[in-house]
Structure 1
Amino acid sequence: MTPIEQAESISSKLKLNRVSLKNFLTTQGILIVFIICLAGFSMFSDRFLSEENIMTVIRQASMIGIIAIGVTVVIIGGNLDLSVGSMLSFATVLVVDLHDKIGPTNAIIVMFAMTLLIGAINGLLIGYMKLNSLIVTLAMLSAIQGITLIYTGGQNVDIANQDATWFAVFGRGFVGGIAVPILMFAVLALCVHFVMRYTSYGRRIFAIGGNPTAAVYSGIRKSRCVFTTYMISAFSVGCAALVLGSRVMGSQNNVGQGYELLVLAGIILGGTSLMGGAGSVWKTVIGVLILGFIQNGLLLLGYPYYTQWLVTWVIIIVAVWLDLANQRKRLFTSHS
């Protein structure tokens, strides 16, 4: 082999290695960030990587994660759901208030029925009536919060005899040493991940989010698929309401306020594109955990609570900027 051929071979191998490294960073970058965050905070706090603290963070993040799983499906389908915060307030207030009136089992059934009804309204307006998802869910956020205040008369609700009900199992229970909220988070994530990755329904949602016009011409019923994504989102909110209501055994009228931002931050941090058609449930799980560990690390380092909101804002801005830059690069590459 001549020196020129050797140089070309080395150049080709280096180029291949760069491409492989780039592909690895693209697909596994979120996991690398997660490991870096864990290592970074552990250097400044001995408690950070303790088993007790890790399980506490995962347990606290599980409620946001449960909601984020449902919203991830909506966003992959090319839409948004900003109503989940107020929906969480309403569902939690409803299940706690009805607990003493009709019993925990009936309260849970009614709560899920009403939450799914809200999801159906969102799905009907956005999927079948073709209204803008941002406007519809933003309006629904306000409407649900108003309904919650009217329902309670502005008063907080509590379960009377908290020690005599099995309802506490959802927020305070353990199975095999693992907290029930963590198990609910894991089971829901596995089920939705399987559906989105290995079923025709999941492929239809990705197709609709990626190219809705082509999806329709391919025979996909876009309206029905969009409707079902909002039902999945509403169901996940209902599951989170079980966790929140049974953990506190009571509820404030605005208990879910701000959760929509935390949910979006976790989803965006996980790499799901706001443009639709790209995303992963398991990466959303990692994104939510990163957010939870960052917030926990800041508290352990002695920073005030409000710094979490500032950090969340920075995460959202940076993640959205990276997502838009990536979309522009894909668009440029496809036209070049």
Structure 2
Amino acid sequence: MTALTKAGIGGLLARQGILVAFVVFMIVFAIANPRFIDIDNVSGVIRSSAILGVMALGVTFVVIGGNLDLSVGSMMSFSTIVVLDLHDTLGPTLAIPAMFALTLCLGAFIGFLVGYLRLNSLIVTLGMLSAIHGLTLMWSGGQNMDIADKWGTWFGFFGRGSIAGVPVPILMFALAAVVLSLVLSKTPFGRKVYAVGGNGTAATFSGVPRARVVFMTYIISAACVATAGLMQASRSLGSQNTVGQGMELEVLAAVILGGASLLGGSGTIFKTVIGVLILGFIQNGLLLIGLEFYVQYVVTWVIIILAVWLDVAAKRSRLWSPIA
């Protein structure tokens, strides 16, 4: 193999290491069980991953901006319960925008604390995780929510419907990914997010309104959570008040698996989508292989660590840290 060929392969791995890892996982699981690549199975995995995926798209903005958002799981529970409750009192036409407005208010409050008051995002969102969970229980009275007339409403379209044979949740996930990818990569705001996450002090001295940019990343995250809550409520037409509990860790895992740095300043929407799909297909592949669910947790963790390690190793052209 010539040096030029090696350089080309190395460059490909450095740029798309996580994508290569995704293809490898797909091939391995397809060999282990041919049903893995069945069109119905693939569609089912993407559909079941859409809710997590939409949430991860919003958190990608937050992470690239140099912050964290651990409140998205509780916020998703809140938005799901609220829209289900308001569905029976206001009707779906008014319930959906009302839920979005309330969820955006929560995101704005977090954005104000982190962006304008400069509070630590980990502490703020960890506290809001509990606070929003409490709000959800207060709203629901500690009870689960169900739509009274499940057969006489069009509300199920967002979670159960399809357009031209493609499930609506997949279309919503894809549309959100395309729009937010364009915002992040093609607009001045997107460049400011990268600048703030890369070096907030330098960005401020360069005239970038750091507080406003951070504030808007949390607004975008909240909008994505509200969309995920709508999809969840529409899919089940009912929900437990803890439906989003623990999802913040899965969302963060997908974003980091996609290559976004916890230090901020790097990451893309496309790779976050790949991270979400890796999580979804790993869990599905392990299920088809026949592993018990508790073994799947351990194997999934090992595969995630391996994928991230190979991605980082490809970027620095060595398996081990130069200071190891």
TM-score (norm 2): 0.93
Identity percentage over the alignment? Answer: 56
Alignment of 1:119-138 (within 5 A): 119-138=107-126
Residue in structure 2 matching 1:233, options 207, 218, 221: 221
1:168 aligned partner? 156
C-alpha contact 2:14 2:316 (8 A) present in aligned 1: no
1:268 aligned partner? 256
2:190 aligned partner? 202
For the residues of structure 1 that align with 2:123 and 2:110, how far apart are their CA atoms?
Answer: 11
Q: Give yes or no for the alignment of 1:37 onto 2:25.
A: yes
Residue in structure 1 matching 2:46, options 48, 54, 58: 58
Q: Helix, strand or coil: the match of 1:139?
A: helix
Residue in structure 2 matching 1:309, options 294, 297, 316: 297
For the residues of structure 2 that align with 1:36 and 1:276, how far apart are their CA atoms?
Answer: 28
Q: Which amino acid aligns with 2:241?
A: N
For the residues of structure 1 that align with 2:124 and 2:315, how far apart are their CA atoms?
Answer: 25
1:7 aligned partner? none
Q: Which protein has greater RCO, CA pairs closer than 8 Å, 6+ apart? A: 2
C-alpha contact 1:128 1:223 (8 A) present in aligned 2: yes
Structure having the higher Rg: 1
Superposed displacement of residue 261, structure 1: 1.1
Cα distance, 1:103–1:268 mapped onto 2, change above 3 Å: same
Residue in structure 2 matching 1:185, options 173, 181, 205: 173
Q: Between Structure 1 and Structure 2, how many residues are aligned?
A: 318
Superposed displacement of residue 24, structure 1: 1.1
Cα distance, 1:161–1:185 mapped onto 2, change above 3 Å: same
Superposed displacement of residue 44, structure 1: 1.5
C-alpha contact 1:70 1:229 (8 A) present in aligned 2: yes
For the residues of structure 1 that align with 2:311 and 2:12, how far apart are their CA atoms?
Answer: 17
Residue in structure 2 matching 1:286, options 270, 274, 291: 274
For the residues of structure 1 that align with 2:175 and 2:56, how far apart are their CA atoms?
Answer: 14
C-alpha contact 1:112 1:238 (8 A) present in aligned 2: yes
Q: Helix, strand or coil: the match of 1:282?
A: helix
Superposed displacement of residue 267, structure 1: 0.9
C-alpha contact 1:170 1:243 (8 A) present in aligned 2: yes
Cα distance, 1:322–1:219 mapped onto 2, change above 3 Å: farther
For the residues of structure 2 that align with 1:204 and 1:326, how far apart are their CA atoms?
Answer: 27
Residue in structure 1 matching 2:7, options 5, 19, 23: 19
1:251 aligned partner? 239
2:202 aligned partner? 214
For the residues of structure 2 that align with 1:159 and 1:39, how far apart are their CA atoms?
Answer: 42
C-alpha contact 1:65 1:288 (8 A) present in aligned 2: yes
Q: Runs of 5+ in structure 1 lacking a partner?
A: 1-9
Q: Which amino acid aligns with 1:307?
A: V
